[in-house]
Structure 1
Amino acid sequence: MIDGPTGASGIFSTIWPMPLEPLLIFQLALLGIATGFLAGLLGIGGGMIMVPFISAILGARGVAPGLAVKMAIATSMATIIFTSISSVRAHHKRGAVRWDIVKSLAPGIVLGAMAASLGIFSLLKGSVLALVFAAFVGFSATQMFLDKKPKPTRQIPGPAGLLGAGGFIGLLSGLVGAGGGFVSIPFMTWCNVAIHNAVATSAALGFPIAVANVAGYIVAGQHIDGLPPYSFGYLWLPALIIIASCSVLMAPLGARAAHALPVKKLKRALATILYMLAAYMLYKGLSAL
């Protein structure tokens, strides 16, 4: 165990009055490494991977289950701010980001994200939302796994269509704590955007999604009873800092791997992740009925 000022626990004890356990630091760092690589590789923020683990870690520390889930969603979303910046820099260097799409989707994303994070997720039944989410993601995964080609004439919709699509992406992302890649990538490929461009553009979209949602989570989480130490609204700062620090190092490696993989293999890899997300949400939804 490393306890001295040069060890991990020594570093974090200078940030928090109560030093964090080395095992907790290791768990959060490992989670950050995995989600950072996936963010760069597949354009997803890793929220659906982080949320279960952060919920379990908080639950083991005595946080009520419902509050633990909300804090996990908010904290995982906050890490996407940093992951997105790191990942999009790597994609931008390769000229893969469609900034025209980012600018067109961003206004709707911000509106949808704020609507979700400021209260809609607390009004909907989690079981119903989980089942709808599972069905949608499962359908998107099947389309990508089969490599079904869109009509050659299909293009990105006009301003009104992009505003609506952005609103839906931001809303759904805010309700489940994910970066939106599970919606935005299938949407863009359906509109004949090349998969590598779709992954890179999704990484860029993660930033406005995360910023808008995190602002809402902080406001909505004020004056909540039962928050653990080192909380800022619904954000749990130890997990945010450790996971973000590790994920930003791995996101560029994932981005380089994305450009090295064949398109078909990349689509199937993304479809596999989407199936896992759909199965998890289906289980959560059915178990809550």
Structure 2
Amino acid sequence: MDLLTSHGPWWLAGLAVALVATGLLAGVLAGLLGVGGGIVIVPVLFHLFSLLGVDPSVRMHVAVGTSLATIIPTSLMSSRAHRRRGSLDPALIRRLLPGVLLGVATGAVASRYLAGPWLTAVFGVVALVVAVQMGFKREGSAWRDGLPGPAATAGIGAGIGGLSTLMGIGGGTLGVPILANLKVPMHTAVGTGALLGTVISIPGAAAFLVNGLGVPLRPPFSLGHVNLLGAALIVPATMLSTKWGAALAHRIDARRLRQVFAAFLALTAARMLLSLWH
């Protein structure tokens, strides 16, 4: 408990407020832009754990594992809501699911052997790609009309599942823009991303929990590589604020806000990558 006892109660209270604020921001952005909350939660936790003095060897693992744990309840609620609205295409999901499950399994195994800097590099590079896509994608542009053949579709699913597991994000951050570029209707892409978030987060969080058991230098209140304090404070805030983001989506220029968020994400990813050289 040295990491906690070395700071005063006001500092720890500030940490709790920061974790709640992280959840609120992640929920608003998830509802507003259709991005997964993990794309916000992971870098914020990474920097908070840096302030706490958490060892670099476990810092990114705990950030990713905790983020995956927070995605479980929010993705379950979101996918149920999309199913009620008819935003899930069973045929589309059946085609993607085998590849996604293979990717999740591969990512879960790889996370056991990848050192923290490698996880940071994966997150930073992919987040930069997502930021560029969000910031510069032209309306109406697409790669092709519909999913490709079985092998390519399996590869797409594996990429979404594997990278999302290693990054600690749900299925929306990568799945929604990919499906949109394949001319899948946006409401179906968002609903599919929510369901894939459930498929990714449950086994992904379990893998990080098991892989982290007994690992030294983890922050207090961690079960494996899942920080229970962070999850307990972030989840309620995220579940509360997602509906705020959905309501705001009808009142503001979402395209302009998406560009602002893309710039924020690019700067955050660049800072994480630069931390590898310090």
- TM-score, L = length of structure 1: 0.78
Q: Please point out which of 82, 106, 109 is paired with 2:100.
A: 109
Cα deviation for residue 143 of structure 1 reads 5.1
Residue type of the alignment partner of 1:150: A
Q: What residue number does 1:174 align with?
A: 165
Matched, 1:27 2:18: yes
Matched, 1:156 2:147: yes
Q: What residue number does 2:75 align with?
A: 84
The alignment partner of 1:192 has SS state of coil
> CA deviation digits over 1:99-122, x for unaligned, max 9?
432333232222212222322571
Q: What fraction of aligned residue pairs are identical, expressed as a percent?
A: 32
Cα deviation for residue 269 of structure 1 reads 4.0
Residue type of the alignment partner of 1:282: A
Structure 2's unaligned 5+ residue stretches are 1-10
Task: Choose 49-58 or 205-214, whichever is displaced more.
Answer: 49-58
Structure 1's unaligned 5+ residue stretches are 1-19
Contact kept in structure 2, 1:141 and 1:270, CA below 8 Å? yes
The alignment partner of 1:154 has SS state of coil
Contact kept in structure 2, 1:45 and 1:83, CA below 8 Å? no
Q: Please point out which of 243, 268, 273 is paired with 2:261.
A: 273
Q: Please point out which of 206, 228, 247 is paired with 2:197.
A: 206
CA distance in 2, matches of 1:62, 1:142: 33
> CA deviation digits over 1:52-103, x for unaligned, max 9?
3223333444421331221011101110111112223333343333343233
CA distance in 1, matches of 2:248, 2:274: 36
Contact kept in structure 2, 1:43 and 1:203, CA below 8 Å? no
Q: What residue number does 1:44 align with?
A: 35
Cα deviation for residue 244 of structure 1 reads 0.8
Task: Choose 162-171 or 32-41, whichever is displaced more.
Answer: 32-41
Contact kept in structure 1, 2:97 and 2:157, CA below 8 Å? yes
Alpha-carbon distance change, 24 to 253 in structure 1, aligned in 2, over 3 angstroms: same
Residue type of the alignment partner of 1:213: G
Count of matched residue pairs = 266
CA distance in 2, matches of 1:249, 1:108: 32
Cα deviation for residue 24 of structure 1 reads 3.4
Q: Please point out which of 243, 254, 260 is paired with 1:252.
A: 243
Q: Please point out which of 181, 184, 187 is paired with 2:178.
A: 187
Alpha-carbon distance change, 95 to 82 in structure 1, aligned in 2, over 3 angstroms: same
- TM-score, L = length of structure 2: 0.81
Task: Choose 72-81 or 247-256, whichever is displaced more.
Answer: 247-256
Q: What residue number does 1:129 align with?
A: 122
